Structure 1
């Protein structure tokens, strides 16, 4: 007989899951960001452009490794025990095919970006695709079981070890080859941990079992392909038409955009997706979860991203050096885009949890069209124009995402907007405080330190005085996730 979990038990398990999911994402992404900053400082914009171009291609090949089968393993209510092994076989076959294609086509890709050095780097990274493929199915099965501790251990270990190896290689003079050392080391460590801790994912030839999950998985794959294109066409077009040095500036700023998306949005949505899938039939519970998650993401993402937007010149000068100053205005714009995308990231989890593959596909078509239009128009005005075009397109899509949330659950649009207000309100007052510190005209390092202090003090004061309940709910949620109190 199936027993129903009490709300306290569900909340406790949810906090534990978010805690480990957060540790996994932060451990891996923070390590990769530190490695990227060190490499950028050591190599400079010109040499770092090779890494930026390679990163775009690596992201694309990672998308094709899975074909949408892993989300289908998570979403299915019931699953044949042999299905994970069949998916693992498809992942390995895809990895082998992509490795061969990459090796053969590397000169063409290098020619597209006008960077001859890219050929050798891509050919080495091609062999790493098989390693990436090994970890896809074990990760999906751990997600299905809410096994975020195993994922966390793998991602943290992989991120840290990979970053150490990459930075060491760069300090020893490896140049852009340090990226290959970092990526392959990270993937090897993650694959070893996940394979060691996950049973039932050994490859088999029962490919006929994939039939029931193919319709959903193919729609996810197609939507992911459109999402990749819409989120990376700016990098592709910048690298192609403005050059890899410009791509270095843009991609460094773009990394900041994806920080909250990956560290916060991905952390929370790793848990939100399977959680919503379990309560998909209860629209009231779905709505309640969406409101809570939106408020948490807004309070966690908006204030730090607004801080990055106003402090970008000082941050670039202090962290990367004056050679990277053209990145500052781009960073300011994309930081706002990152905050918006993080807060609205629950829409994808909701559609997947509800099994709405067709809706996901339709949305991605609309999103791709809008974002591509913004990017192409912005490209006529240089790097800053691309950033503004991408950000504007994102805000134009926000009402569509809110409507999807309303139609798939009982959540009201005004309730969602109300949950975002405290974070936005406090951040605007805090930004004004930072700008006042800048007017004093101190050295960049002092402006950055004192500006951050002023930002935090004013922001917290506004939240305490005007939005005390929202602040308390966020603190309680944070304590639950961190296991404090």
Structure 2
């Protein structure tokens, strides 16, 4: 009997594959591989930047807690008066060219060098301009001491101008670890310098020295990390970069006016003491919140710029990004809304308790600002700076109207106006983008709705726990409120499939970021 295996029919050959089909298949495979690589890079970048911002938040809170006990509301008010005005120059010092460099499809060394000299020249120009307009700033507020303070703070412009393209270059190359290291070192060193100066009785000068030190450390650290020396300017195509930058700078300028109309209104109408109180609430909450949101753009902009032609992947990234912001920052703001009283008492001291309603209203504003933040990623990654300018003009008009009307009821009325404005404006952003960008905004609206519902329950649970434990004091109220918020969050995960899916998606991003790229 034969032991040879039976013969089988040869496999049927499929139809021949054309060169075009093979090329399309290879392109599809390459796109899939790029998606995976970008996904892992973005997740790791997000994890690194969020971790770094967590450290910065701790430093920010420590600075607020310590310096609030060493300085007076008047000290903070004087510095806030200067920064509210000269901050306008900081926008035009950058010209939007840092974001232009990050989102550009290609950027030559010549273009990069030219951008360095443009930003440096602009920084020097505004340093000189602000230096000589110091008497005018002092006259606006009626405080002669603002002259010397403005002279010193003017140096920040040239220092930041020199560092702009180093930071943009690291961002463009997705060097998030190096960026994070510098951005932790700068506030840490500057805070130590400010505390030492305050202990020596420097008063408001401690805050000025803090800003100068921060700018110096950022410049030196980013330049050392980038490892390139700019060559002399030379001919290179710059028109597209300028177009993007100018339109973005216009949006930032209009947005800055809207964001600082509260400080300008309080400073001119109610004086430095009132502005100092408002500024402490703002520094305790809104500054750290901005520090947490801004790095998300640092990660999202280069990634979404690469996914511009891939609508499916881009929409998926936006929805995950919104969930990541909403289920962390926005829900966290719900805790602040519910526990504003013990937070104010613990972090600022009982002498600052009048800040409590302001802090709560600023947290409400932060909720709606964060929900709208995903829209900024879309505008920038698709190069829609003209459309962003148009939208910003509308939202700033709403904000100015709300704040000016609110100021009729004092500083707390200003905070009410600041909170109501983004609540009215954020839906306009998604509606405007639905007409201007190739993105699906419907899921973003739905996702935002789920986030707001969860935040409302967290705020209610936190507030209820704080009220029930009020007789035991602030050190019991805050942990009780935080525990109640955690219980609400856990119940949402366990009982509501929609929240469970969103939270699981965010955890997957974290897990992907913790795995090394292969």
Is the shorter-chain TM-score for this pair beyond 0.5, marking a shared fold?
A: yes
Q: Deviations over 1:169-210 (max 9, x none)?
A: 112222111112211112111111111122455152326643
Cα distance per residue 1:425-472 (max 9 Å; x no partner): 333333333333313432122222222222222332233222222222
Q: Which of 52, 63, 75 is matched with 2:91 structurally?
A: 63
- Between the aligned partners of 2:227 and 2:183, the Cα distance in structure 1 is 18
Q: For 1:357 and 1:433, how far apart are their aligned partners in 2?
A: 41
Q: How many angstroms does 1:323 deviate by?
A: 2.0
After TM superposition, give the deviation of residue 229 of structure 1 in Å. Answer: 0.7
Structure 2 matches for 1:333-344, cutoff 5 A? 333-344=361-372
1:244-270: CA deviations, max 9, x gaps?
111112222223453464233212121
In structure 2, the residue matched to 1:78 is: 106
Q: 2:483 aligns with which of 441, 449, 453?
A: 453
Match of 1:130 in 2: 158
Residue 404 of structure 2 is aligned to residue 376 of structure 1 = yes
Distance 1:272 1:208 in 2: 27
Q: State which drifts further: 122-131 or 401-410.
A: 401-410
CA distance in 1 between partners of 2:181 and 2:452 (Å): 34
Please list, as runs of the form range in 1=range in 2, the aligned pairs for 1:291-310 lying within 5 A after superposition.
Answer: 291-310=319-338
Work out the CA distance in 2 between the residues paired with 1:155 and 1:196.
13
Instruction: Report the TM-score, using the length of structure 2 for normalisation.
Output: 0.88
* CA displacement at 1:84 relative to structure 2: 1.3
Which residue of 2 is the match for residue 400 of structure 1? 428
Question: Against the structure 1 CA distance between its residues 94 and 445, is the aligned structure 2 distance closer, same or farther, given a 3 Å change threshold?
Answer: same
Q: Quickly say closer, same or farther: Cα 1:128–1:58, change in 2 above 3 A.
A: same
Contact 1:46–1:245 (Cα < 8 Å) also in 2: yes
CA deviation map 1:308-358 (0-9, x unaligned): 112111111122112211111011011011122122212112111111121
SS of residue in 1 equivalent to 2:470: coil
Q: Does 1:441 align with 2:470?
A: yes
Deviation at 1:144, TM superposition (A): 1.4
Cα distance 1:451–1:79, how it changes in 2: closer, same or farther (>3 A)? closer
Q: Number of aligned pairs?
A: 483
For structure 2, the residue ranges without an aligned partner over 5 or more in a row are 1-25
RMSD: 2.2
Say if 1:81 and 1:440 are closer, same or farther in 2 by CA, change over 3 A. Answer: closer
Corresponding residue for 2:263? 235
Match of 1:462 among 466, 472, 492: 492
Partner of 1:480: 512
Q: Identify which range, 462-471 or 324-333, moves more after superposition.
A: 462-471
Is the Cα contact below 8 Å between 1:256 and 1:335 reproduced in 2?
no
The structural deviation recorded for 1:367 is 1.4
Residues 300, 482 of structure 1: CA spacing in aligned structure 2 closer, same or farther, 3 A cutoff? Answer: farther
Q: Distance in 2 between matches of 1:26 and 1:405?
A: 31
User: What's the CA shift for 1:223?
Assistant: 0.9
Distance across 1 between alignment mates of 2:198 and 2:372: 37
The residue that corresponds to 2:68 in the other structure is: 40
SS at match of 2:72: helix
* 1:385 CA drift (Å): 1.4
| Mapping 1:182-331, distance limit 5 Å | 182-200=210-228, 202=230, 204-206=232-234, 209-259=237-287, 261-331=289-359
